[in-house]
Amino acid sequence: MYLSKFQLKNFRNYSDSTIELGTGLNYFVGENGQGKSNFLEAVYALSIGKSFRTSSIRSLIKFDNNSTDSFVRGIANQDNSVLDLSLILNLDKASNRTTKKYLFNGSDISSIDFIGKLNVVLFEARDLNIIIGNPIERRKFLDIHISQQDHSYLRALQRYNKVLTSRNKVLKEIKLRKSTRIELEFWTEKIVEDGSIIFKERMKRLNQIRDETIKVFSNLVRNDERLEISFKPSFRDFGTDITIEKIHSLYNQISDKEIAAGTTLIGPHRDDFEIFVNNKSSSEFSSRGQIRTITLALKLGEANVISKNKNQAPILALDDVLSELDERRRKTVMDYISDYEQILLTAPNSNLINYDLKKPDMFKVHSGDIIQN
């Protein structure tokens, strides 16, 4: 899979820019603040249906010449098919409300059906928070990875989050004697049903990512560095031997504690995973350079999993991935990614790649414009 054409209109600092992309390495060079990251943000939005940087549609729209709409469009080639994807953003001045529209080959589709039509794996600076940030960052990483491949998982996740809100409300109301345990049981049954789906899928997918990440990491580092990834689910006492009945029983056992706390104490919303290097937690003991390498290995491991599961390599979108790596590691990374069908790589200058690879397509990014060299 690869993008052959890409257009941005009134997106971030882009007024109207259209480029043609090639297979292999596409290299985007420009000083900071010119629009390199905005371009990759737009590409990734065509994969996951939204910005990875903000939930505000308004902040994505460039309000030039009284324009109140924005769109990104990509033409992708997959095997013998051509995919035409558009994400359209609009601000209605009368109501001051923003809307989002998804098009696939000219037809409106839902956000769920849009996700994963274009498979992209992104690496950018904030991904270091997968290692050093709080558990929500790691759950988000897993959820995006799985949702691109399995829409039934995404639907279960959306249902779970709605049920969680309702169940927490009932727990608070029981404490105030405004609701009953009978109503709590209704929401417990629903949260158990979707929670078990999410738990099992996260465990399976993380195991796949772990196996591939370990392989990638061993190629990027010295031989004496060993990486391990450990899933830390909220239902950890059950291991792989988990059933709906066991989860339901656990909720019943802790119902008094949950009522006292006024919140749901167990479930996928409290899942986590941890990464270790040489049996030490990478979030506590790894240097920034090591954390960057671990995160890159994790992302490339994710890409390898998608390649195997979908029999189709995703597009790699790597934002300034080379800058903080030494020359040996830069060469190792470039050699490793060279087999991918398409790589979109940004950097502040062209001096960071001088390896024996197929000559890349070079683009200059300046003030919201992309010019092919």
Same domain, 254 and 156: yes
How does residue 238 score in pLDDT terms, banded at 50, 70 and 90? low
Check whether 342 has a pLDDT greater than 60. yes
Q: What percent of the chain has pLDDT over 90?
A: 82
Residue 356: is its pLDDT beyond 60?
A: no
The pTM score is: 0.94
Helix 288-310 / helix 181-220 crossing angle, nearest 10 deg: 100
Residue ending a domain, choose from 311, 329, 347 = 311
Instruction: Tell me the average pLDDT across 183-193.
Output: 97
Q: Encode burial over 91-119: b for 16+ CB neighbours within 10 A, e otherwise.
A: beeeeeebeeebbbeeeeeeeeebbbbbb
Q: Tell me the CATH number at 91.
A: 3.40.50.300
Quick one: 340 and 292 in the same domain?
Answer: no
* CATH number of the domain enclosing 285: 1.20.1050.90
User: 285-335, pLDDT tens digit by residue?
Assistant: 999 889 999 999 999 999 999 999 999 999 999 999 988 888 888 888 988
Model confidence band, residue 359 (pLDDT cutoffs 50, 70, 90): confident
Q: For residues 93 and 155, state if they share a domain.
A: no
d(Cα 308, Cα 311) in Å, to the nearest integer? 5
Domain that holds residue 200: 126-311
Same domain, 187 and 262: yes
Q: Comparing C-alpha atoms, which of 95, 91, 40 is closest to residue 67?
A: 91
Which of 363, 371, 368, 366 lies closest to 14 in space, CA to CA? 368
User: What phi and psi values does residue 87 have, to the nearest 5 degrees?
Assistant: -120, 115
> Where is the domain boundary, 289, 311, 333?
311
Tens of pLDDT, residues 245-279: 989 999 999 999 999 999 999 999 999 999 999 99
Residues 292 and 147 in one domain: yes
177 lies in the same domain as 318: no
Considering the domain architecture, whether residues 274 and 142 belong to the same structural domain is answered as yes
Domain total of the chain: 2
Q: Which of 260, 282, 311 is the last residue of a domain?
A: 311
Residues 1, 47 within the same domain = yes
